[in-house]
Structure 1
């Protein structure tokens, strides 16, 4: 094993602790830079995450760059250059002298970083354990003596721990554990695309563009950051003909492009409500009258009235309004867009 650089053991220990520490992503990212500064005496550094919708860099922490350089680092041009240099695919740390192309062909260096007084630098891609690219750690120095080869190699080894420290989905995966037992889950972005949720598989119902996700986005807004509803016909077990969809809005410290966690789980206690009654409850939540429900479901109005009576009894509600409130709060309804009519 190669000898560690000066301060190497202390840096490894500190970053390992930071990766598991509480606090916000920004706090952990700042602590990572503090620890790395003892390994590499950099004049500027940045950790940014990649917004998958806009393909843009979202800085988590940035130090030492002037306004012009900072604007370039978050520009589409820099994102494209980072991809061309392989840092979104390659897990190795690269100094300027290690790049696979001559430095004079690196626009960011020629037009921005070198004129700002930097003489060397290092970049390393940050990836989740599943291999999804999260973002980039970049360091710049005013001397060609740093980063050393030993420091570069150690930072490459530390990159997974640094990624863990700044991964915004880490806290979201913890949020998901309150839904027991969640069978599948995804992260929903504000643009409607999806990202994997660490620790849970995906599911066809949660694919980008699905009706379930469209309903989830609407219900999340109406529910003030939390919501739940039932989806019929998705379970393989005939005894459980529904699955539950639960939405949790992301906390403020999460990058803005991530909107919510969406989870799929067993339906839970259905209070004895039948599939038809759950559909009718969904229409009651929408404010539909018995006549309108009867027309939509192609059944007699008196049949709807009988169903509504059963629903009120099972929910212990004295009125349709109270039944709707309880159904919405408990997620005991099938939204109209998912009803089998």
Structure 2
């Protein structure tokens, strides 16, 4: 084996830590690339069938040129026969494993030849359920002609389920896919997956979400937030021993609720009276009553109790409600 068992054991622990959101997903991928002697590596999450195979926004790239990564995440993952062969096989595929001349493919012309790659590997990641399509893949390339040894290929296969967790670190069974995953402490906000620049919240707002999760009765807090462009995001903050993992993903429109109506609904779910909501949000009691009545109509709920239950089940909460609830 190219590296000893102790290295593989350390790598497995690092992969699992990244899958939980405890360390950046880039770290174990870099360890794989460097430890196995490749020059470039990328982690790509493929979109659901309804998206036409579009790539997920969370893509980790280690030293592939931008145009090469674009090819890998689009044309290669959608149409390349090498990728189709790797997906059907479900195990790592090296250049030497391809049962046809890969030099006849567009991938060879557009990505392999221009970069001088002489060997490579595609690892389909194990799906969460038998029969499901792989949620993504790892691809690595080398300018050396030596293929990866069989023992290392087997070890990567055994790690493929844990590596799949890197596509969406910190996810739980009922979580929607996240576009950005962050680790938040009182002193630091770090990206675990995705681009921190795409987050529609300030660092102060992220710390508010983290404090709410840390102070709550459960181990997580969920709410919705509308970005400056009008896009709704679902935010879920999960308490961990030494930090809070914050997951963000785009959300559908919330029954035509306005932002202020959602603030009110979030406080109704906490059992607040109209008078207390009025004080917490700094608006008139009559305005609160109007928002409650409008929310009942828009969400098709018969009464305040049903509205509170729906808010709790769907995490209809906001930063405005969190600010009011946390003083």
Give the TM-score of the pair, scaled to structure 2: 0.53
Q: Quote the offset at 1:115 in angstroms.
A: 1.3
1:329 aligns with: 308
Sort the Cα spacing of 1:74 and 1:155 in 2 relative to 1 into closer, same or farther, 3 A: same
Distance 2:107 2:248 in 1: 25
2:47 aligns with: 51
Q: Quote the offset at 1:40 in angstroms.
A: 1.3
Which residue, 17, 24, 32 being the options, matches 1:21? 17
Residue 151 of structure 1 aligns to a residue whose secondary structure is helix
Residue 171 of structure 1 aligns to a residue whose secondary structure is coil
2:142 aligns with: 141
Aligned runs of 1:180-191 on 2, under 5 Å? 187=176
User: Structure 1 stretches of 5 or more lacking a match?
Assistant: 177-185, 191-222, 227-247, 261-280, 294-310, 312-322, 334-341
1:168 aligns with 2:168: yes
Superposition RMSD on alpha carbons, in Å?
A: 4.1
Aligned runs of 1:278-317 on 2, under 5 Å? 285-286=296-297
Structure of larger gyration radius: 1
Sort the Cα spacing of 1:93 and 1:26 in 2 relative to 1 into closer, same or farther, 3 A: farther
1:103 aligns with 2:88: no
Sort the Cα spacing of 1:49 and 1:258 in 2 relative to 1 into closer, same or farther, 3 A: farther
Q: Quote the offset at 1:57 in angstroms.
A: 2.3
Q: Quote the offset at 1:151 in angstroms.
A: 2.5
User: Structure 2 stretches of 5 or more lacking a match?
Assistant: 180-221, 226-232, 238-245, 254-291, 313-327
Sort the Cα spacing of 1:255 and 1:76 in 2 relative to 1 into closer, same or farther, 3 A: farther
Q: Kindly provide the CA deviation profile for residues 126-169 of structure 1, in whole angstroms up to 9, marking residues without a partner as x.
A: 023413311011110010114233332322222222123x1427
Aligned runs of 1:248-267 on 2, under 5 Å? 249=234, 251=236, 256=249
Residues 49 and 134 of structure 1 are in contact (CA less than 8 Å); yes or no, is this contact kept in structure 2?
A: yes
Residues 126 and 163 of structure 1 are in contact (CA less than 8 Å); yes or no, is this contact kept in structure 2?
A: yes
Distance 1:161 1:284 in 2: 42
1:116 aligns with: 115
1:200 aligns with: none
